[in-house]
Structure 1
Amino acid sequence: MNTAKKHKEKFSLAHLTALQVPPPEFIRMASRTGYDYASIRTIYMGLPGEPNYDLSTNKEMLEDTKKALKETGLKVWDIELVRVEEETDPVSLVPSFKIAQELGAKHVIASIWTDDLEFGKNSFAQICDLAKPYGLTVQLEFVTIAGVYNLKGALAILNSVKRQNAAILVDSHHFHRSVHLFGDKVEDLKRIPRKWLNFFHLCNATSLIPEDVEEMTRILREERLYVDEEGIDNKEILSYMPDDIVYSLEIPHKQRVEAYGYEEHARKCLESAKNFFTSSKVKKEVVLS
């Protein structure tokens, strides 16, 4: 008789899925809909249409966020987003790192948008150094439309900076695009050391990749699909991820939010992910130690 316990997947709700919901209510919503963690966007980037949830300057919202965590028992898995550009001052991020530690977060997401990769590499290394005293791992996410746009580039950065608290965040949507546009291969995921894999941005999207950058941007911010829908071969991608990785569901979809509301959409995101893992027999490949 096989007495081995089946691994239970852990899920976090990524803030981009419901970005207009402020952190306190976002945490309560994540708890009500069954998530294990919340991933909150507390680093303000000044992008058009994005609300400012900088908890280091909004003390009232910070206290309400702490209250929501205490009420629900939910944990903050990560904060985001460090957008590395020429005008980014790494030292200015320290207040956000302090707040992340206060909230119990373990990770901060960063992506490199400058085309000056030497500058981007040095800035990323400095960010890792600044985040380390606060117990934060800096997750480098490669984004198809950014300066570091594929797995190969992300691996090159981490192998160069050699920071103990540096890691790689794979997003199934971005990776699908990098495979078809920039020469990555699914089996290249075996090159990621296990210590660099803490969590995974999970979603689905149409397999057709638009050529227009504006349309690519719109889809990744407004039209990602539920995990159990057709498009990306998540089954193959996830075969290279460790069993105990946390899945952060980043599934923004403007029309579905308008139809269902943020909370029901968040619930459907989680249901779709659980359906995927129930119905898909993901055969695990070897992950490096």
Structure 2
Amino acid sequence: MSYQFSLAFLTVFDATPSEAIQIAAETGYSHVGLRLLPSGSEGLFPLMTNDHVFKETLAALQDTGVQVADIEIVRLGEQFQVSDTLAFLERGARLGAKNVLVAGDDPDEGRLTASFAAFCEAAQSFGLTADLEFMPWTQVPDIEKANRIVNNANQNNGGVLIDALHYHRAQMTVDDVATIAPKHIHYVQFCDALATYDNSTDGLIHIARQARLDPGEGEIDLVSLFRAIPQHAMLSIEVPNFEKAKLLTPKERAAQAIAGMKNVMALANSSC
């Protein structure tokens, strides 16, 4: 089986979109992930506000043949209005994106499910999936809740996004992964981390956003996770590491990350 690799936005957070695309092409990734909307309060990203950057990005995609896998990030809070995401979806469709990363922040599960369903419908009209990522510090902390929301929303393009770090921190297992319908797993984010960690919200967020390790460099059982996911799933390599960024170029980090993932896959295949 030939898997496809996507270079996640956070792995080369210090590269421009066009630079990330070129790096992906040069280091063995067929796809990239791009951020258009913020994860926090940092404001819109250039792909939403700067037409020159957008045109440069389109040109880089055409020149390299690299494709856009996922775009980030839609947050479903208490005041969520699907109309606020239409410009984002339109830009994502123009980029040829396939998937949208969605985070759940609304404590009212019924309303969160309704918001997710409404967003799925909007995303579907642009040819995009909506992939709900569970994160331990959000209102969707684990696979059980993510799966329930996606199933209750009952949308053809809905999905559950597994991030290896959150999978580990939420103490998930391959049995939990098996509860997700394979059709709901469009892509999976891989990285590594140490088994001991600060489990406060600040500690979890710190590692997630700036101190991850390359696949195979830490202590998460990535081999079992890799075996548990469907073969059609895109492999997104998401390894933000601010300390490494002081020492290595974005291209060097991208190359190391995909090499680590390929080693994990080789271990999974050799020990079957």
- With the length of structure 2 as denominator, give the TM-score of the two structures: 0.94
Q: Report which stretch shifted further, 138-147 or 18-27.
A: 18-27
1:115 to 91, 103, 107: 107
- What root-mean-square deviation, in Å, do the aligned CA atoms of Structure 1 and Structure 2 show? 1.7
Q: Give % identity.
A: 29
* Number of residue pairs matched by the alignment: 272
Offset from partner CA, 1:147-182 (integer Å, 9 cap, x none)? 101000001101111011101111111011111xxx
1:132 to 99, 107, 124: 124
Offset from partner CA, 1:196-218 (integer Å, 9 cap, x none)? 11110011111113132111110
2:20: which partner in 1? 26
Tell me the secondary structure at the aligned position of residue 146 of structure 2.
helix
Tell me the secondary structure at the aligned position of residue 214 of structure 1.
helix
Map 1:77-96; keep pairs closer than 5 Å.
77-96=69-88
Q: In the alignment, residue 188 of structure 1 is paired with which amino acid?
A: D
Tell me the secondary structure at the aligned position of residue 281 of structure 1.
helix
Cα deviation, residue 79, structure 1: 0.5
Paired residues of 2:21 and 2:61 also in contact (CA < 8 A): yes
Paired residues of 1:236 and 1:282 also in contact (CA < 8 A): no
1:43: which partner in 2? 37
2:139: which partner in 1? 147
Map 1:1-289; keep pairs closer than 5 Å.
7-48=1-42, 52-179=44-171, 184-281=172-269
Paired residues of 1:170 and 1:200 also in contact (CA < 8 A): yes
Distance in structure 2 (CA, Å) of the matches to 1:163 and 1:221: 30
Q: In the alignment, residue 223 of structure 1 is paired with which amino acid?
A: A
Paired residues of 2:227 and 2:268 also in contact (CA < 8 A): no
| Residue 101 to residue 282, structure 1, CA distance change in 2 (3 Å) | farther
Cα deviation, residue 52, structure 1: 3.8
Q: In the alignment, residue 105 of structure 1 is paired with which amino acid?
A: A
Cα deviation, residue 60, structure 1: 1.0
Distance in structure 2 (CA, Å) of the matches to 1:263 and 1:164: 36
Cα deviation, residue 282, structure 1: 7.0
Paired residues of 2:216 and 2:263 also in contact (CA < 8 A): yes
| Residue 230 to residue 56, structure 1, CA distance change in 2 (3 Å) | closer
| Residue 44 to residue 177, structure 1, CA distance change in 2 (3 Å) | closer
Structure 2 gap ranges (5+): none
Paired residues of 2:30 and 2:66 also in contact (CA < 8 A): yes
Distance in structure 2 (CA, Å) of the matches to 1:69 and 1:98: 17
Cα deviation, residue 187, structure 1: 0.8
| Residue 67 to residue 197, structure 1, CA distance change in 2 (3 Å) | same
Structure 1 gap ranges (5+): 1-6, 285-289
Deviation >3 Å, runs of 4+: none
Distance in structure 2 (CA, Å) of the matches to 1:230 and 1:76: 28
Distance in structure 2 (CA, Å) of the matches to 1:126 and 1:281: 40
